[in-house]
Chains A and B, each alone.
Chain A
């Protein structure tokens, strides 16, 4: 066991794969170059909404090095627009999105013309000389404006701006509110954010007219999805498309989507028959990457005199932007924001209505946590409001309402969630002890008397991880939900794992190598990982919904078992014993009498070079492939509890984070170092959402803070120490038992800061509904409360 702990599951091994990246030896898309490579710079729409009347390209074509200026009409001849209306989502309405604007542009930053040149600099010089003639159309930007009865349409093919409407739970929950001891109600506003990856999006596309094959290198999470997208849009066979994701410097969901500008780059290569490169610059990232989170919500909660929740009634209005993101749509965030409200608790009656609104802004899409941070923030503040109304300690309020396990004989909540075993009680116990909750509360009371406003906030969450085919399948979306592992024993005794899982910096590949190494008792260096290449890996999802270890790890574990079983059977024949009596230790086979002298290298050499030496004349396959998709459950729910301690300066409105704690249950932990850093990184993004980050648009739809000087992301200096601890409840859905963890920090982070701020402001009577909680908003809330007195 000691040896296992040093090498296999549970070992805190440093991430060897990170050394190359830290030393600057990464190979990102922009590092890839091909003979005859051309570069693209896009001319983008300056208005939030407009009709394109003409494009003047003569001056641009005279710039030395400029090869072509290609517009939307030209591309439309060879490339279909994205049609993002999943058949399984009734009433969903999104306009077709062409790779380049053909006629009507619907958000500022939409790509209009591609200037193609021998160098990026020449392409940019050319782009400066392309002049667009426009009719400006009325723009609709805020959710309220989109909702207005007489609102101008975001896209002229529609008469209104409603893209989606759905209800979870009961039609009417009013009975639960009648006669409740307390009913609390609150409005919420969530600011629009974007992912801000260190490496921006980028693509190299090469249509080879000789072989009629398309090769694409892209900074992306899901190469298999992109292979199918490009094949579909360009009318090619998926077999003739190969997509490779080389090293990727952060993705966070925004590299899960298919973007019009990237499709345009691929279509330009198809048109010109030459390789092209397009790297999104930072200014373009802000306006053309997927945005997320913009929502307004109102929620009512009824509780009895003892604090038990009797009912929840919520409405969520989400800002979708100009188009549904392809291919998965923009509805995921809105749906999860509504459906996951109240998820950690037994909530009695439940109703959550969700509406999605088109806006003349960048399309919204997936961003770490997808809707769940919104649901968690709403739920947790409602719990706090109810606990104050019922005069119950917030920690106790949570405990008495926690949803426990299957013990009630049902796995589906009223919102339709299928929740496995939860461990919220155990997480809360560990958390309260770690933070010394009682002492913090006493200190808080003492300081309040001195006019120092500190707040203690809790946020419990349930998160859907390792999502299987049950989500997109019924919606009619063709998205691979399995993860697969192709494991090969090489002739020298080393192992190669080709996995469908992709890694954008999480270290998932290192952890899978660690897991595989542990199964054979060898060092992780003995396992070579191959990933992110449809030409070399088995079919599967990639990276989305926290699936790398939960699903990809399970596939690897199963592949190991099959390869090992075959090898042990062979060894048993040689050693004349039962296979069950044999095991691998440091790559060597240990039998009933100890070391057998047979090791992986010896067995591999026998199988590859001297199969006739096998006692049976048969050798096991040297390559095995396993694919896993959760079957019994649609996804693997994880859970945990976050806590924040902060201080508000009531004169300045500033928020100072004093401490952060999280206890998470992601089941089996393969590498605790990687898991803890996933939690911390996610929490930092949650804090960013709570305090700093917001995409600010002017009334007429101009993005007004699209630089890293004005769009403020959290830096190390603002971050408190983050204490991470675990409860481990292995999921029964897999043999490995791992649940997802990549998004858990973000899911709870926003809610925990929100409840802590609310708690700090109790003496002032103020409440800040609009996030991020900037000093201006905090101060305005405090002053409004003073005026109301």
Chain B
């Protein structure tokens, strides 16, 4: 499935760009992230726990950063293996542009799931993926703007 959206972040473009490359930022922003290690250069390892419809999944995944145009754009490419739940893989192209209120972050996500979670059908999967992307970038915005995000419930 494909999704795109944008956020206005009250921070300079360079700050926003550097934020994306930090593992602690990923840990804070990936919904359900238990652990994120690694670096922008070598790629990140992540453990993410999520509940998709009736299926609880613990994904072990790798995230790499590609096509880096410093301060302008990059691609986050990830794949998570979810044990009995199946797998999820996807790529997000993030583009930054100057904006009177800071930076406009535009993202285009192409994601795919397989195995048991794929069975749940597009009504559940698409909604879930949209929520994940929204939460990620919303938290990212909040982190950068300095306020601590309210911990969102996994059950909502």
Interface residues of A (CB under 8 A from B): 41-47, 108, 124, 127-132, 283, 286-287, 698, 700, 702-707, 709-710
CB distance from B98 to the nearest CB of A (A): 40
CB-CB under 8 A from A131, the residues of chain B are 60, 81, 83
A124 partner, pick from B84, B113, B115, B123, beta carbons under 8 A = B84
- Contact A127/B114 with A707-B119, A709-B121 known, Cβ cut-off 8 Å: no
Asked if residues A41 and B84 are in contact (CB atoms below 8 Å), the reply is: yes
Q: Decide if B56 is an interface residue (CB 8 Å cutoff).
A: yes
CB-CB under 8 A from B81, the residues of chain A are 46, 131-132
CB-CB under 8 A from B114, the residues of chain A are 46-47, 108, 700, 702
Q: Decide if B86 is an interface residue (CB 8 Å cutoff).
A: yes
Cα A43 to Cα B81 with chains together (Å)? 12
CB distance from B86 to the nearest CB of A (A): 4
Asked if residues A707 and B121 are in contact (CB atoms below 8 Å), the reply is: yes
Cα A710 to Cα B113 with chains together (Å)? 17
CB distance from A508 to the nearest CB of B (A): 34
CB-CB under 8 A from A41, the residues of chain B are 84
Asked if residues B83 and A127 are in contact (CB atoms below 8 Å), the reply is: yes
Known: A128-B84, A287-B119. 18 other contacts (CB 8 A): A43-B84, A44-B84, A45-B115, A46-B81, A46-B86, A46-B87, A47-B115, A108-B118, A130-B83, A130-B84, A131-B83, A132-B83, A698-B118, A700-B114, A702-B118, A702-B119, A704-B118, A710-B121
CB-CB under 8 A from A709, the residues of chain B are 121, 123
Cα A725 to Cα B149 with chains together (Å)? 69
Q: Decide if B58 is an interface residue (CB 8 Å cutoff).
A: yes
Cα A450 to Cα B13 with chains together (Å)? 66
- For chain B, residues 45 to 68, give those with C-beta under 8 angstroms from any C-beta of chain A: 54-58, 60
Cα A337 to Cα B112 with chains together (Å)? 36
CB distance from B117 to the nearest CB of A (A): 9
Chain B interface extent, by class: 20 to 34
Q: Decide if B99 is an interface residue (CB 8 Å cutoff).
A: no
CB distance from A26 to the nearest CB of B (A): 25
The 8 closest A-B pairs by CB, nearest first: A46-B115, A706-B119, A127-B84, A710-B121, A702-B118, A46-B86, A128-B83, A46-B114
- Contact A44/B116 with A128-B56, A128-B58, A131-B83 known, Cβ cut-off 8 Å: yes
Residue among A127, A129, A698, A702 with most chain B CB within 10 A = A702
A-B contact pairs, 18 of them (CB 8 A): A44-B116, A45-B115, A46-B82, A46-B86, A46-B114, A46-B115, A127-B84, A128-B58, A128-B82, A129-B83, A283-B116, A283-B119, A287-B119, A703-B119, A705-B119, A705-B121, A706-B121, A707-B121
- For chain B, residues 101 to 129, give those with C-beta under 8 angstroms from any C-beta of chain A: 113-116, 118-123
CB distance from B75 to the nearest CB of A (A): 21
Cα A789 to Cα B82 with chains together (Å)? 52
CB nearest to A287 among chain B residues? B119
CB distance from A572 to the nearest CB of B (A): 67
Cα A706 to Cα B113 with chains together (Å)? 14
CB-CB under 8 A from B60, the residues of chain A are 131
CB-CB under 8 A from A703, the residues of chain B are 118-119
Asked if residues B121 and A128 are in contact (CB atoms below 8 Å), the reply is: no
- Contact A44/B120 with A128-B84, A130-B83 known, Cβ cut-off 8 Å: no
CB distance from A575 to the nearest CB of B (A): 70
Q: Decide if B85 is an interface residue (CB 8 Å cutoff).
A: yes
CB nearest to B53 among chain A residues? A707
- Contact A710/B123 with A124-B84, A128-B56, A128-B58 known, Cβ cut-off 8 Å: yes
- Contact A704/B121 with A108-B115, A131-B60 known, Cβ cut-off 8 Å: yes
Cα A41 to Cα B118 with chains together (Å)? 19
Cα A78 to Cα B116 with chains together (Å)? 29
Cα A41 to Cα B56 with chains together (Å)? 14
CB-CB under 8 A from A128, the residues of chain B are 56-58, 82-85
CB-CB under 8 A from A130, the residues of chain B are 83-84
Cα A698 to Cα B118 with chains together (Å)? 10
CB distance from A282 to the nearest CB of B (A): 9
Asked if residues A704 and B58 are in contact (CB atoms below 8 Å), the reply is: no
CB nearest to B54 among chain A residues? A283
CB nearest to B86 among chain A residues? A46
Asked if residues B83 and A44 are in contact (CB atoms below 8 Å), the reply is: no
CB-CB under 8 A from A287, the residues of chain B are 119
CB distance from B90 to the nearest CB of A (A): 14
Taken residue by residue from 66 to 96, chain B's Cβ proximity to chain A (1 for < 8 Å, 0 otherwise) reads as 0000000000000001111111000000000
Cα A698 to Cα B115 with chains together (Å)? 12
CB nearest to B117 among chain A residues? A46
CB distance from B147 to the nearest CB of A (A): 34
Cα A47 to Cα B83 with chains together (Å)? 12
A44 partner, pick from B54, B115, B121, beta carbons under 8 A = B115
Cα A263 to Cα B123 with chains together (Å)? 35
Cα A340 to Cα B42 with chains together (Å)? 63
Cα A118 to Cα B88 with chains together (Å)? 30
- Contact A129/B119 with A44-B84, A47-B114, A702-B114 known, Cβ cut-off 8 Å: no
Cα A724 to Cα B114 with chains together (Å)? 45
Cα A661 to Cα B85 with chains together (Å)? 45
B83 partner, pick from A43, A108, A698, beta carbons under 8 A = A43
CB distance from A139 to the nearest CB of B (A): 11
Cα A132 to Cα B84 with chains together (Å)? 9
B119 partner, pick from A45, A124, A286, beta carbons under 8 A = A286
CB-CB under 8 A from A108, the residues of chain B are 114-115, 118
CB distance from B53 to the nearest CB of A (A): 8
Cα A47 to Cα B123 with chains together (Å)? 21
CB-CB under 8 A from B119, the residues of chain A are 283, 286-287, 702-707
CB nearest to B84 among chain A residues? A127
CB-CB under 8 A from A44, the residues of chain B are 84, 115-116
Cα A703 to Cα B114 with chains together (Å)? 8
Asked if residues B58 and A707 are in contact (CB atoms below 8 Å), the reply is: no
CB-CB under 8 A from B85, the residues of chain A are 128
CB distance from A299 to the nearest CB of B (A): 34
CB-CB under 8 A from A129, the residues of chain B are 58, 83
CB distance from A492 to the nearest CB of B (A): 52
Cα A706 to Cα B118 with chains together (Å)? 8
CB-CB under 8 A from B54, the residues of chain A are 283
Cα A42 to Cα B58 with chains together (Å)? 16
Cα A44 to Cα B120 with chains together (Å)? 15
Cα A703 to Cα B119 with chains together (Å)? 5
Residue among B54, B119, B122 with most chain A CB within 10 A = B119
Cα A44 to Cα B122 with chains together (Å)? 21
CB-CB under 8 A from B121, the residues of chain A are 704-707, 709-710
Cα A45 to Cα B122 with chains together (Å)? 20
CB nearest to A46 among chain B residues? B115
CB distance from B95 to the nearest CB of A (A): 28
CB nearest to B88 among chain A residues? A46
Cα A788 to Cα B123 with chains together (Å)? 34
Asked if residues B122 and A704 are in contact (CB atoms below 8 Å), the reply is: yes
Cα A131 to Cα B62 with chains together (Å)? 14
CB nearest to B116 among chain A residues? A283
Asked if residues B84 and A707 are in contact (CB atoms below 8 Å), the reply is: no
CB-CB under 8 A from B86, the residues of chain A are 46
CB distance from A70 to the nearest CB of B (A): 15
CB nearest to A703 among chain B residues? B119
CB distance from A713 to the nearest CB of B (A): 15
CB nearest to A282 among chain B residues? B54
CB-CB under 8 A from B122, the residues of chain A are 704
Cα A130 to Cα B82 with chains together (Å)? 9
CB distance from B124 to the nearest CB of A (A): 8
Cα A178 to Cα B81 with chains together (Å)? 61
Cα A424 to Cα B48 with chains together (Å)? 64
CB distance from B77 to the nearest CB of A (A): 16
CB distance from A175 to the nearest CB of B (A): 51
Cα A286 to Cα B116 with chains together (Å)? 10
